[in-house]
Each structure stands twice: as C-alpha cells, then as structure tokens.
Chains A and B, each alone.
Chain A
Amino acid sequence: RKEVEQDPGPFNVPEGATVAFNCTYSNSASQSFFWYRQDCRKEPKLLMSVYSSGNEDGRFTAQLNRASQYISLLIRDSKLSDSATYLCVVNRAGGYNKLIFGAGTRLAVHP
C-alpha cells in the first residue's frame, strides 16, 4: 500500500465549477500535511498547509481528519489557471522535514 494515495483523475470541469480532491495516508504518526501544485513540466510549489481545524485561502479550502487519516482540498469557482496537478503531501514523523508525496490528481478546467 502506498503511504499517500490520491485519485489520479483527470478531473475535467468547466470554469466556475467546484471540485474536491481526496487523499489518504497510512502512517498515523504523520505530523504535518500540505497540498502542492505542479504545473505541466514545472516544479512543485506549496499551495497551502492543512490544519486539523481546517483552513481556507481564497477559493481553496483544506481539511484534515486525523482519525480517518484523510485530507481534502476544495476549489470553488474554478478558473482556467487552476489547471494543474495537485499533490497531497505528508511530512513523515521523526522531526526532520521528510516529505512523502502522493502521485497527484490532475485537474483540467475548460471554458
């Protein structure tokens, strides 16, 4: 079983749609959680951290459920510029910053 699992997609949605991505992780001792965005042929960039209380950044909302070991990302009012691969990332416990990446979910927003 992979340590971080995501639906690979692709998710094809029209502009203005709401889309949700899900992710599960297997190591219950994982300490911190993130969503990274990766554009085609580019490097990953941090989109947002994910906190137990849930957090929002504009059109993006991230949720964490530690009991279920489940992370989600909700994008509201999708824009063409949101088209990218969204990587669910977990920081392995142990103190050092060791990121474990999911394979990513591809989003394509069309006019």
Chain B
Amino acid sequence: EAGVAQSPRYKIIEKRQSVAFWCNPISGHATLYWYQQILGQGPKLLIQFQNNGVVDDSQLPKDRFSAERLKGVDSTLKIQPAKLEDSAVYLCASTPRRGLVEETQYFGPGTRLLVL
C-alpha cells in the first residue's frame, strides 16, 4: 500500500514570497491533516479535513496560510506571504475514516521549508 505522498520535499524561498505544498493521502483515507513542525518542537496541527470539509483550522494563521481539499482526495497548503518564522517541516497525515480517536495517523515524509 502506497503511503502519504508530499511534494516538494524541499523548498527555499525569500520572505514575502509565496509557496505551496501538495499532499496525496493514502488511497481511500477520508481524513487529512496538515502539521507544522518547527526545529526542536513536536508537530503542531494546522488544519484537519474530513473529506473536503474543514473540521478544525483553529491554529491556522489565516492571514497568510490557506488550505484546500477540493475533491476530498489530495490537498494543497499555501503560505502567502512567507515570514522567517514559517521555516519548518510541513507534514501531511491521513486516517481511514472519520478521524476518530482510535485511528492511527499515517504521516508523509514532509516538506522542508526554509525562508530567507
């Protein structure tokens, strides 16, 4: 079974530029998550989708971050404009059904973003 796919794996941009990340969850997984992991910290949830609807985006900095999952399959996360403090690894994860507490989250390899 193929895992969660993410691209690009690495991205270097200058502050105030825009950047987009792509995630393709495990086939058939209904729930998709985007996390931000800053160096030395654990992953922090940015947004959670159930199919193509947003379940939780309480920690998404909505002035600069946006995400969509239009067809309930793959998803994009965008930052516009980027700040230095956005330098982090952006992880995508998915679970099979409704994202219930007993389901294991499967993570993709992440996209490493460096903002100069």
Contact = CB atoms under 8 A, between A and B. Distances in A.
Classify chain A's interface size.
Answer: 20 to 34
B110 interface: yes
A96 B100 contact: yes
Interface in A86-111: 87, 89, 91, 95-104
A42 interface: yes
A88 to B, nearest CB: 8
Contacts of B40: 8, 103
Interface stretch (A13-21, A43-51, A61-69, A76-84): A43-51
A4 interface: yes
A42 to B, nearest CB: 7
Majority DSSP secondary structure for residues of B touching A = loop
Contacts, number: 53
B20 to A, nearest CB: 20
Contacts of B98: 96
A97 B91 CA distance: 16
Interface in A26-54: 31-32, 42-46
Given A43-B91, A43-B109, A44-B107, A99 B100 contact: no
Contacts of B99: 96-97
Contact of B108 (A32, A43, A87, A91): A43
